[in-house]
Amino acid sequence: MPVTLVPATEVAAFLPAVADVGGQVFTRAPWREPYAQARAVAARLRADAARPGFVLAVAMAGEELVGFAYGHRCSALAVTAGCPRGADFTLKELGVLPDFRGQGIGAALHDRVLSASGGGPWWLATHPAATAALGLYRRRGWQAVAAQPAATSRLIMRKTRHIDPAQTVFAMR
């Protein structure tokens, strides 16, 4: 199952499928977002595609989008965590359809986006009860640096270790 990068100029073609994945992923525990809000990931993706350093990776099973991850240059999480601004990259979203989890797709998406990011430090925010996501992030060197109030239920994580693209494997297990 290939994981490929999508140029910002081609993001529009993936928005309906990203909305569908969001609707299946972010309505479940621990996020439990209302369906319309979960599908709004596509609107955020469309807006973020114009930001500096934008990177989108998708995983396809034939013609079906089964997972995506994206990010861009952004110091907002660094500031929220009380760290100085810099040339950092934020991994904004990562989602894999439930039926395709456990196959290394999330790891491949993660690695592909970070490898194409142009360097770190890297930031992300996730739900503190997202155990599968937290396991993936911790195995890849992320560390929790701050928690936001319970109302937002976000754990901010940071990664500083460089990823060598020559040693990164993008193929599924």
The whole domain housing 10 covers 3-167
Summarize pLDDT for 26-76 with one digit per residue, the tens.
999 999 999 999 999 999 999 999 998 999 999 999 999 999 999 998 877
SS (H, E, C) 47-116: HHCCCCCCEEEEEEECCEEEEEEEEEECCHHHHHCCCCCCCCEEEEEEEECHHHCCCCHHHHHHHHHHHH
Q: What is the mean pLDDT of residues 106-122?
A: 93
80-101 pLDDT tens trace: 666 666 678 999 999 999 999 9
Determine, yes or no, domain membership for 61: yes
Q: Is residue 172 part of a domain?
A: no
Strand partners, 122: 89, 159
Residue 173 domain flag: no
List the CATH number of the domain containing 101: 3.40.630.30
Strands 155-159 and 143-147: antiparallel
Greater model confidence, 133 or 162: 133
Q: Is residue 44 in a domain?
A: yes
Residue 31 resides in a domain: yes
Domain for residue 125, yes or no?
Answer: yes
Place of tokens 């991850």: 69
Q: What is the pTM of this model?
A: 0.87
User: Is the pLDDT higher at 172 or at 32?
Assistant: 32
User: Does residue 24 lie within any of the structural domains?
Assistant: yes
Please check whether residue 57 lies inside any domain of the structure.
yes
Tell me how many domains the chain contains: 1
